[in-house]
Amino acid sequence: MKKINITVFFLFCAVVSLSSQTPILTVSAFFKTVSEKYAQIRDYEADMTVTTSKDIMHSRVSFKKPNLLRIDFSDPATQTIVFNGELLTVYLPRPKAILSQSVEGGSRARAANLATPQGLGLMSRYYSIAYETGQEPVALDESTAGSAAEEKVVKLLLSRKNTSEGFRTIKLAVNPSTLLIRRVEAVSAVTGEVFKFDFTDYTLNQNIPDTRFLYDAPSSANTYNNFLLTE
């Protein structure tokens, strides 16, 4: 009887120990959950900060399904990027230049779609996905770790499957509560430069009108059509 009681005791301890541990969530399952969240987004706006080795730029980004995108910069002021599904327009205030490019398919359309919820599907297709630090949320910035202002995210590391992709790696920081992307860090496959995009102050599904994605460029600016290199 004592042996049976001891066996039951250890089994009970094992069950309690296992039940107290955080369930294992594979990175594929987590990424699928994030993708499903973005699939429910009809439109969104967010503050976006772009950081490179040379500049820090601040903007407000607007997106509407299926592929309408607009980025209005406050720094540099009045710089604007608009994509209406067919035409990419970039206004550069310093040289007073309007860059215009038709997008009809292939890799250019794919690149434009990376800024949309559908872009997550493209990432899973062309990149291998892994946890960078595990499934438990960690500090977004190491400098704030342990502080009252610490912001925790789940960090993912995406590595390209073939050399044709423009970014060698992409790091995603996802808010585990909202499942919204908080930060994207992409490393250029050509130059090795790191591009960091921080997203804050999201507003979702506000029925943004299509007119939001119409842009009247200054008449004094010079226009350069099809400025991207042809494939």
Per-residue model confidence (pLDDT) at position 228: 64
Task: Please give the pLDDT value at position 16.
Answer: 38
| Rounded CA separation 112/136 (Å) | 31
pLDDT on residue 208: 96
Per-residue model confidence (pLDDT) at position 17? 37
**Location of structure tokens 């460029």:** 217
**C-beta of residue 155 within 8 angstroms of C-beta of residue 172:** yes
Instruction: Please check whether residue 195 is in contact with residue 48, taking contact to mean a CB–CB distance below 8 angstroms.
Output: no
Please classify residue 157 by burial: count the beta carbons closer than 10 Å to its beta carbon, then call 0-12 exposed, 13-18 middle and 19+ buried: middle
H or E stretch at 174: strand 167-174
pTM metric for this prediction: 0.81
* Alpha-carbon Rg for the chain in angstroms: 22
Q: 25-225 has which CATH code?
A: 2.50.20.10
Question: Where do the domains of the chain lie?
Answer: 25-225
pLDDT at 116: 59
pLDDT confidence of residue 231: 42
Residue 87's pLDDT is 87
pLDDT at 67: 84
Q: What is the mean pLDDT of each run of 10 residues along the chain (231 residues)?
A: 43 39 81 92 93 92 90 94 88 91 53 57 88 94 76 95 89 94 91 91 96 90 75 42
Tokens 């296992």 correspond to: 18
**How far is residue 41's CA from residue 61's CA, in Å, rounded to a whole number?**
14
Burial class (CB in 10 A: 0-12, 13-18, 19+), 41: middle
